[in-house]
Structure 1
Amino acid sequence: MSDVDQRLSSSFGTVAAAYAEHRPDYARDAVRWALAPAPGRRVLDLGAGTGKLTTVLASVGAEVVAVEPDPAMLAELRLPGVRTLAGSAERIPLPDGSVDAVLAGHSMHWFDLAVAGPEIARVLAPGGVLAGLWNVYDDRVGWVASLARVGGPAAVGARDLLSSWRASTVGLRPPGFSEGEQAEFTHGQVRTAESLVAGLATRAGVVVMPASEREATLARIRSFLSAMPGEFTLPMRTGVLRLRRA
């Protein structure tokens, strides 16, 4: 991982509470599809953050263990019956063959796949599944496409848009895994202008901006959203990249 990526990936702890409050969960149909080929119900949420994906996994009946490297993010993950562990994709604190699926919500692109791939394969049971999930904005909708332009790539990047997420994630195939399958599932999040701005403020590219640039970016987004009604639904899809252990 480059120094820039390391700085970006380690930035979330500084906004952990806002991340927990304002980031969306994941479409349940997407989670079910990701898990469909798995040989059992034992699931590792890898790079679990504040538990956005963990919560959905628990709701669909998975037996979840959550692993996250950032202590501030992990401190926000409080789910009864869910085991939480400090660790990373490159160093997973679980025994060999102990899970049937590994899912990663908005985190797989941060993994050093040359190292993480064999480690993920190690903890997977035979026939196990690896899946990355991303909530992507549906930029077929005019105002969403305009929001992406106004916010710029630090706030709304290629992995965040329906038009570009597939091309941006299809190459995320670690050694020892099959070619990936991709699918999208309808999702949405009820927002106000301020809560959407607050969510965009937790994007890594925005978090690491100099303060003056960050304030200007968020002010520009806030001005654009001022024409929106008090509450509105942000149209999204949950995109899934699903791979199987070779």
Structure 2
Amino acid sequence: MPTIPPERARLSQLEPHRARHIAESFGSDPERYDRARPRYPDAMVERIVADTPGNDVLDVGIGTGIAARQFQAVGCSVLGVEADTRMAEWARKRGLQVEVAKFEAWAPADRLFDAVVSGQTWHWVDPVAGAAKAAEALRPGGRLAVFWNAGQPSPDVAEAFAEVYRRVAPDWPASPRSTTAVDGYSVLCTRAADGMREVGAFGEPEQWRFDWERPYTRDEWLDQLPTTGLHTQLPPAKLAEALAGVGAAIDAFGGAFTMRYTTLAVTATRAGAA
């Protein structure tokens, strides 16, 4: 597995929000996506809610509703915005309210929210236009919080995965020796914070960090891989080759490994009198 998710590599050359073919590929298998993707730390969800003036939440890029359900579990009312109709339909069938639109073009229609959140999605949104739209949708004192899970296996596991991808997908620009997943996501955090500053409607952005771990069996990790990054773009034969290689690598480590996650959040408060 490349250390930096390939859709986030070379951000100086590629702005992720312009790569719509990748952004709109995740809905090809929403059931797998919802089942296999990691959740977010409860401590982060609770901190966001504690630092907002109320419980009305707008979830940008709600997807299948992974983050939305976590906010609902602590008493929030959640409205989602989702560009992918397949993802939106999946979330609606599970009781979530979702409006289909690219966030930059979505209309708040005079509705105001206490928090605008976005999990694993904000890099698909123009950072300035998205921050401006969030400011339009937030009550004064409301909070914009965008966050990502950055996964980093141990060095030996990372190298074993990287060897598979050097063989199967040599064009993927990732190296476990040169950088880490947190480094890659830190670039996204910087872009998000710069967008919030440029809009001029928020206080100074803060970055929050939450470290946690999750063990994976071989089957659990292979279930998750096709939902991520450029795996959704691999031809079926190449994807099968990658899965076989990664599965063999996990088998060599006893059939399981532990992924160390860091959840990075960039957050700022909407300026104005509360």
Fold shared per TM-score above 0.5: yes
Cα deviation 1:35-90 (Å, max 9, x = unaligned):
3332211111110001110111111221211221111112222444x422222311
Aligned residue number for residue 265 of structure 2: 240
Structure 2's unaligned 5+ residue stretches are: 1-14, 166-171
Out of 37, 53, 61, which is 1:47 matched to?
61
Q: State which of 183, 187, 204 in structure 2 corresponds to 1:167.
A: 187
Taking a change above 3 Å as real, the CA distance of residues 56 and 229 of structure 1, as seen in their structure-2 partners, is farther
- How many angstroms does 1:218 deviate by? 2.3
Contact 1:135-1:160 within 8 A present in 2 as well? no
Supply the distance in 2 between the matched residues of 1:155 and 1:134 (Cα, whole angstroms). 18
Partner of 1:104: 118
Flag the 1:156–1:208 CA change in 2: closer, same or farther, 3 A: farther
Q: Give deviations 1:144-190, integer Å, cap 9, x for gaps.
A: 53366346558999998235422342221322334421122233444
Distance 2:239 2:264 in 1: 28
- Residue 147 to residue 17, structure 1, CA distance change in 2 (3 Å): farther
Corresponding position: 1:201 with 2:226: yes
Residues 67 and 87 of structure 1 are in contact (CA less than 8 Å); yes or no, is this contact kept in structure 2?
A: yes
SS at match of 2:139: strand
Q: Is 1:118 the equivalent of 2:132?
A: yes
Larger Rg, first or second structure (1 or 2): 2
Compare 164-173 and 114-123 and name the one that shifted more: 164-173
Counterpart CA distance in 2 for 1:94 and 1:191 is 40
- 1:129 maps to which residue? 143
| Contact 1:137-1:235 within 8 A present in 2 as well | yes
Deviation at 1:235, TM superposition (A): 2.8
Runs of at least 5 residues in structure 1 that lack an aligned partner in the other structure: none
The size of the alignment, in residue pairs, is 244
Other-structure match for 1:219: 244
Q: Which of the pair has the greater relative contact order for Cα pairs under 8 Å at 6+ separation?
A: 2
Summarize the Cα distance change of 1:3–1:167 in structure 2 as closer, same or farther, 3 Å threshold: closer
Q: Which residue of the partner structure matches residue 78 of structure 2?
A: 64
1:67 is matched by which residue type in structure 2? Answer: V
Q: Distance in 2 between matches of 1:74 and 1:142?
A: 37
* RMSD of aligned alpha carbons: 2.9
Tell me which protein shows more helix as a share of its residues.
2
Contact map agreement 2:52 2:114 (CA 8 A) in 1: yes
The amino acid of 1:196's aligned partner reads: W
Taking structure 1 as the reference length, the TM-score comes to: 0.85
